[in-house]
Amino acid sequence: MKKIILSLVSIFVFVSAFSQGIAFEHGTFAEALAKAKKENKTVFMDCYTTWCGPCKYLAKNIFTQDEVGAFFNKNFVCVKMDMESEAGKPLMEKYQISAFPTLLWLDADGKLQHKMVGAGDTQSLIAAATLALDPKNNWAALNKQFEKGDRSSEFMQRYIMTSANAGIDAKEAVDSYFSSKKPEELINAKDAELIASTIESTSNPVFHFVLKNKASFYAVADKAQIDQFLENTMFGEMVQLARKGDMEALSLKKKELIALDKEVGTKVVAFLDMNMLQSDPDQRKFYQAVADYGIKYDFDNFENLNQYAWTIAEAKEDLDKELVNKAVKMAKRSVELNSNFANIDTYACILNKAGRTEEAKIQAAKSIELAPEDQKKDLWSAIFLNEKN
């Protein structure tokens, strides 16, 4: 019997070894390179920090998957490196890592082959890893082609987008590409995506061109992508000034952006002001700003409306009836646009906050009915109905 038990334990250990996701090396970076050279493999390096939330998500939910482990263990020598450790700091400088997580694919000599920034899902990770193995289309191959002088339009688009997706600065290529184009030649879907991925300043002539020709870009590209590009670029510049605490420069920047485009500028300034009110001692000002912004600027976005309404529903402060009713209006609109268990749960919660208990019960029951089994018990609606019964 003892032998049988030991055999079962051995089988369990054997199976576990092949179902635990990526098998990371425990040696040094130099040892990983040496192993890669011996086995004729590419090195995959997870560059993380101990405080990085997305890094922890990758480690817990993505790297542990059987599918991921099978692909990575077969094709790569895998190593994890804390970028704030003594061993990690030189690598962070060498590979110019400024965001976490950053995932690197390196040849056996430590030369960069491909790169991914951020915590994607299983499919995006395997797609990036597959591209890293492609000697004709990974970043290193395209960069070599660029250095040899290829400036054809199709290649430049591919090289710049690959660099942007990998979080690699391709300023020389970006400047070269856009300077070679007449502005009107940029009004197409591919260049719209390229612009949204690379232009980061409102002072850039390309930004001004898109801003002045929004309607033309809407006709050939995704409107949401164009709007997000314009708004994020403006917002990013204001956030930098706000973080520095330079309120005078921030005030001037607000005026500049509104003068640049009244519609977009006013919206982005309102969004910044709303967010800055989160630190106001009187939180009712923040909730009021959330309601006003949602109704005025995001009334066709069901996800954002749901988030705004839930923010107000969770408020501990005493809120006036008019404000709560605005949150009801946002929650109802969210459900009308795209009904799902999550926003119906929010709708039920804010109806109850507004004193409309019987209506809240009806919506709560709907939310529970639509919710997946494993999420029903955690809904506000489930707790609410249990208390009422």
Q: Is the residue at 275 inside a domain?
A: no
Domain count, the chain: 4
* Structural domain of 156: 135-180
Among 117, 133, 149, the domain-final residue is 133
Per-residue pLDDT reduced to its tens digit, 131-143: 999 999 999 999 9
The answer to whether 258 and 265 are in contact (CB under 8 A) is yes
Q: Which of 107, 135, 86 is nearest to 36 (CA)?
A: 107
374 plus 345 within the same structural domain: yes
Q: Is the pLDDT of residue 3 over 50?
A: no
Q: Is the pLDDT of residue 130 over 80?
A: yes
pLDDT at 18: 43
285 plus 230 within the same structural domain: no
Q: Is the residue at 270 inside a domain?
A: no
pLDDT at 14: 38
Per-residue pLDDT reduced to its tens digit, 43-100: 999 999 999 999 999 999 999 999 999 999 999 999 999 999 999 999 999 999 999 9
What is the percent of the chain where pLDDT is above 90?
Answer: 91
The answer to whether 63 and 73 are in contact (CB under 8 A) is no
Per-residue pLDDT reduced to its tens digit, 288-331: 999 999 999 999 999 999 999 999 999 999 999 999 999 999 99
Contacting residues for 182 by C-beta, under 8 A, at least 6 apart: none
Per-residue pLDDT reduced to its tens digit, 238-291: 999 999 999 999 999 999 999 999 999 999 999 999 999 999 999 999 999 999
Cα–Cα distance, 95 to 81 (Å, whole number) = 13
Per-residue pLDDT reduced to its tens digit, 335-363: 999 999 999 999 999 999 999 999 999 99
The answer to whether 264 and 230 are in contact (CB under 8 A) is yes
Q: Is the residue at 269 inside a domain?
A: no
pLDDT at 167: 87
15 plus 58 within the same structural domain: yes
19 plus 50 within the same structural domain: yes
pLDDT at 181: 94
Q: Which of 160, 162, 201 is nearest to 177 (CA)?
A: 160
123 plus 18 within the same structural domain: yes
The answer to whether 234 and 215 are in contact (CB under 8 A) is no
93 plus 41 within the same structural domain: yes
For tokens 């988030």, name the residue. 307
* Average pLDDT estimate for 175-203: 95
Q: Is the residue at 121 inside a domain?
A: yes
Per-residue pLDDT reduced to its tens digit, 212-246: 999 999 999 999 999 999 999 999 999 999 999 99
Which of helix, strand or coil describes residue 246?
coil
Q: Is the pLDDT of residue 111 over 90?
A: yes
152 plus 254 within the same structural domain: no
Within a 13 Å sphere around the CA of 251, how many CA atoms are in the beta-carbon half?
3
pLDDT at 8: 38
236 plus 297 within the same structural domain: no
CATH number at 27 reads 3.40.30.10
Q: Is the residue at 35 inside a domain?
A: yes
The answer to whether 104 and 33 are in contact (CB under 8 A) is no
Q: Is the pLDDT of residue 387 over 90?
A: no
What is the percent of the chain where pLDDT is above 70?
Answer: 95
Residue 369's H or E segment, with its range, is: helix 357-370
pLDDT at 165: 87
Cα–Cα distance, 260 to 212 (Å, whole number) = 9
126 plus 140 within the same structural domain: no
Q: Is the residue at 190 inside a domain?
A: yes
CATH number at 366 reads 1.25.40
b/e for 261-286, b at 16 or more Cβ within 10 A? beebbebbbebbebbebeeeeeeeeb
Q: Is the pLDDT of residue 200 over 90?
A: yes
pLDDT at 353: 97
Contacting residues for 61 by C-beta, under 8 A, at least 6 apart: none
Contacting residues for 172 by C-beta, under 8 A, at least 6 apart: none
Q: Is the pLDDT of residue 11 over 50?
A: no
Q: Is the residue at 268 inside a domain?
A: no
Q: Is the pLDDT of residue 184 over 70?
A: yes
328 plus 242 within the same structural domain: no
Residue 40: how many other CB atoms lie within 10 Å: 7
pLDDT at 103: 97
333 plus 357 within the same structural domain: yes
For tokens 């956030």, name the residue. 239
Q: Is the pLDDT of residue 10 over 80?
A: no
Confidence of residue 157 (pLDDT cuts 50, 70, 90): very high
Confidence of residue 7 (pLDDT cuts 50, 70, 90): very low
161 plus 198 within the same structural domain: no
C-alpha dihedral, 260 to 263 to 265 to 269, nearest 10°: 160
pTM: 0.80
Please state, rounded to an integer, the average pLDDT across all residues of the chain: 93
Q: Is the residue at 324 inside a domain?
A: yes
